[in-house]
Structure 1
Amino acid sequence: MSTHLSQDQLLHAYKVMRTIRVFEERLHVEFATGEIPGFVHLYAGEEASAAGVMAHLTDDDCIASTHRGHGHCIAKGVDVYGMMAEIYGKKTGVCGGKGGSMHIADLEKGMLGANGIVGAGAPLAAGAALAAKLKGTQGVAVAFFGDGGSNEGAVFEAMNLASVWNLPCLFIAENIGYAEATASVWSVASDHIADRAAGFGMPGVTVDGFDFFAVHEAAGAAVARARAGEGPSLIEMKLTRYYGHFEGDAQTYRAPDEVKNFRDTRDCLQQFRERSLNAGLLKVTQLDQIDQDVEQLIEDAVRLAKSDPKPQASDLLTDVYVSYP
């Protein structure tokens, strides 16, 4: 357990994870009303991965996400109000309401974007890592992908180039056990995705993705290694999602009590609370206050998003072309 973390760091980590959880669970409810356009893929259950990795990053570091990107965005510091407005397709969204759930990006926060193309974030992260190396900024880039993305050629190519060029890049495989509805045991030709790191000359480690402290420790070592100029790493998070691949997915491919058992016995938020309280690092009142504050934050974000204006016809061609000086 990372007992070296300060109380402020622990409280921040819990707030990040609680914000992701409440954000996603509220979207699960709101999407059913039909007011949210497009597809929504929820990150609930995976909070420890995003929080544990992003705890080591700054706004100058970059991440490339997936179609399931809300948790990564929140953990990287993207504005929750702007995210909710974006998901509702409103002009006040972080991308002007034009990207929606699967394309939230905020370059000022180092969030290169969620991505609807499986595995497509890995080459973007490798490019950002190359830029950081050439500029000498000490910056790090992180690519998130799932067990389905772990089989994509673009991910292999990015990992190979990251090793060849010794880039400050992390590859985070969030292995939830399913690529959409296909179990990993059918589609991934190894017991551990992290074992593939050896083929690209980089270290690889498999971590309990439900355990924030384990994630924090592994990510910290990999980030420090990258900043020191020692090259890329692959970390596999073993975890799960609580909801379907997309909102509306009945999850008939999962055992009847599979999700319930994970919630009851492995939930990352509950584990964090119990371990922090039992170790005397935090107080119940502190955690309960965060719970209350986050509930209000999400309530306000939904209320504002519903009342915010939609993009107009005059906005159609904005943010399409780049004007160079």
Structure 2
Amino acid sequence: MSGNRLRIMRQAGSMAFFFTSIITQRIPVGLKGTAALRSASFTAKAAIQIKKCDVYLMDEAPSTQVLLTRDDALQYYFTMQTIRSLELKAKQLFEQKIIRGACHLYTGQEACAVGINAAVKPTDYLITGYRSHGFIFTRGGSLRAIVAELAGRKTGISKGRGGSMHMYTSTFFGGHGVVGAQVPLGAGLAFACKYQKKDELCICVYGDGAANQGQVAETMNMAALWKLPIIFVCENNQYAKGTSVERCTVNTNFYKRGDVIPGLRVDGMDILCVREATRLASDHCRSGKGPIVLELQTYRYFGHIQGEDENKYRSVDEVDEVRRNRDPISQFEDHIISNNMASTEELRQIEEKSKTDVEEATQFAMQSPEPSVEELSNYIYSNNIPQDVHGVNPWTKLKSVS
């Protein structure tokens, strides 16, 4: 064999290896087992054009052209589909009276939770209000434990005692029922990060209605004074319970509500917009510049709370228009398909897997026992000193009479 021919064959082999390394991808966590993922080859990385965001008191803004890998795309898509499936199942369980009490669904806002989680560290802290199901899943909660908690079962993530609004992991601090009450708690978490000299921050999420609470303004003032590493995230889903933002807020530019605190406003229905803005906000906080406000313009598909008549304050046509033209999952699917990062068949397999996972978690929850009445006084006090509370001693053994 001539030297030239051998050299050409070696070059061809190197190029083949190079292109194979580009299109060969590892299978994201949770997606193993789908046939298409094992056999098909797609674009490994693509540059995506996203919308420009609004900035306040900042010299820079997130880039409008971002890189997306196939691995990340499929993982984001799977997580958003799982949250969507989880919330649809929660709606069904509420209507069947298996979920009791208050139940606030996250359907339509999936890009916010998944986009934020994609841009911060697993060790960062996150705290939010009562619309928390999406966040508890992205911050380490298992589907089994989440559904069991929703159903009030002993195997739930809060042992069946917290329900829809009060779930926790080692880095997720709830789920809070009092409007805006999580914001000063988030500042406390951020203070702990700074005091202990950790390279962590706190993402503190609240809604457009909570933005008008006095404790939010007070917390922002303190966070700015002390330069706390906290991202104030306002999920502006356009309605404070049943009142539109225009009817209850004189300044609807929520990203400017921090006064001297810098802010960003982005399309909260686009996961890549959320991810890039959160990355910039995260870098801002970790560099020691103090807090930042991030407004995510999003939309919830169902009522403020399950059981209400949402048609009293917004029309069916309004909701349908958002579903058709701005749905976060459909928009992201268009990015994936148009950039040849996956096939439609592959995405349908991922969607079906998310539904199967939620259904399996539901079966687990339904087979789990409810907490016994004897456990009613558990986890209330940190010591064993008897103490009467309104005439009831919590160490009195309680027995079920049913």
Aligned residue for 1:290, secondary structure, equals helix
Would you say the 8 A contact 2:242–2:313 is kept in 1? yes
Q: Which residue of 2 aligns with 1:214?
A: 273
What is the alpha-carbon distance in structure 1 between the residues aligned to residue 323 and residue 300 of structure 2?
10
More helix by share: 1
What is the alpha-carbon distance in structure 2 between the residues aligned to residue 278 and residue 52 of structure 1?
20
With normalisation by structure 1, the TM-score equals 0.95
What is the alpha-carbon distance in structure 2 between the residues aligned to residue 144 and residue 10 of structure 1?
24
Which residue identity lines up with residue 264 of structure 2 in the other structure? Answer: V
**Same amino acid, percent of matched pairs:** 34
What is the alpha-carbon distance in structure 1 between the residues aligned to residue 344 and residue 286 of structure 2?
36
Aligned residue for 1:271, secondary structure, equals helix
What is the alpha-carbon distance in structure 2 between the residues aligned to residue 5 and residue 260 of structure 1?
29
Query: 1:262-281 residue pairs with structure 2 within 5 A?
Result: 262-281=322-341
Q: Which residue of 1 aligns with 2:101?
A: 38
**Deviation by residue 1:54-93 (Cα, 9 ceiling, x = unmatched):** 1123332111111111111112221111011001000100
What is the alpha-carbon distance in structure 2 between the residues aligned to residue 50 and residue 323 of structure 1?
37
Gaps of 5+ in 1: none
- Asked if 1:91 is matched to 2:154, the reply is yes
Which residue identity lines up with residue 150 of structure 1 in the other structure? Answer: A
Query: Cα offset for 1:236?
Result: 0.8
Q: Which residue of 1 aligns with 2:378?
A: 318
Which residue identity lines up with residue 68 of structure 2 in the other structure? Answer: L
What is the alpha-carbon distance in structure 1 between the residues aligned to residue 288 and residue 77 of structure 2?
31
Aligned residue for 1:226, secondary structure, equals helix
Which residue identity lines up with residue 123 of structure 1 in the other structure? Answer: P
What is the alpha-carbon distance in structure 2 between the residues aligned to residue 282 and residue 237 of structure 1?
28
Q: Which residue of 2 aligns with 1:231?
A: 290
What is the alpha-carbon distance in structure 1 between the residues aligned to residue 151 and residue 365 of structure 2?
6
- Asked if 1:160 is matched to 2:221, the reply is yes
Query: Cα offset for 1:180?
Result: 0.6
What is the alpha-carbon distance in structure 1 between the residues aligned to residue 345 and residue 288 of structure 2?
42
What is the alpha-carbon distance in structure 2 between the residues aligned to residue 16 and residue 156 of structure 1?
33
What is the alpha-carbon distance in structure 1 between the residues aligned to residue 147 and residue 192 of structure 2?
31
Query: 1:10-21 residue pairs with structure 2 within 5 A?
Result: 10-21=73-84
Q: Which residue of 1 aligns with 2:388?
A: none
What is the alpha-carbon distance in structure 1 between the residues aligned to residue 319 and residue 167 of structure 2?
27
With normalisation by structure 2, the TM-score equals 0.77
Moved over 4 A (4+): none
**Deviation by residue 1:201-254 (Cα, 9 ceiling, x = unmatched):** 221111111111111110110011112222111011111100001111111110
- Asked if 1:114 is matched to 2:175, the reply is yes
Query: 1:1-325 residue pairs with structure 2 within 5 A?
Result: 1=48, 3-106=66-169, 108=170, 110-197=171-258, 199=259, 201-251=260-310, 252-322=312-382
Aligned residue for 2:173, secondary structure, equals coil
What is the alpha-carbon distance in structure 2 between the residues aligned to residue 173 and residue 323 of structure 1?
38
Query: Cα offset for 1:196?
Result: 1.1
Which residue identity lines up with residue 307 of structure 2 in the other structure? Answer: G
Would you say the 8 A contact 2:119–2:276 is kept in 1? no
What is the alpha-carbon distance in structure 2 between the residues aligned to residue 36 and residue 191 of structure 1?
34
Cα-Cα RMSD: 1.5
Aligned pair count reads: 320
What is the alpha-carbon distance in structure 1 between the residues aligned to residue 264 and residue 85 of structure 2?
30
Query: Cα offset for 1:188?
Result: 1.1
Query: Cα offset for 1:323?
Result: 5.7
What is the alpha-carbon distance in structure 2 between the residues aligned to residue 25 and residue 35 of structure 1?
14
What is the alpha-carbon distance in structure 2 between the residues aligned to residue 243 and residue 100 of structure 1?
19
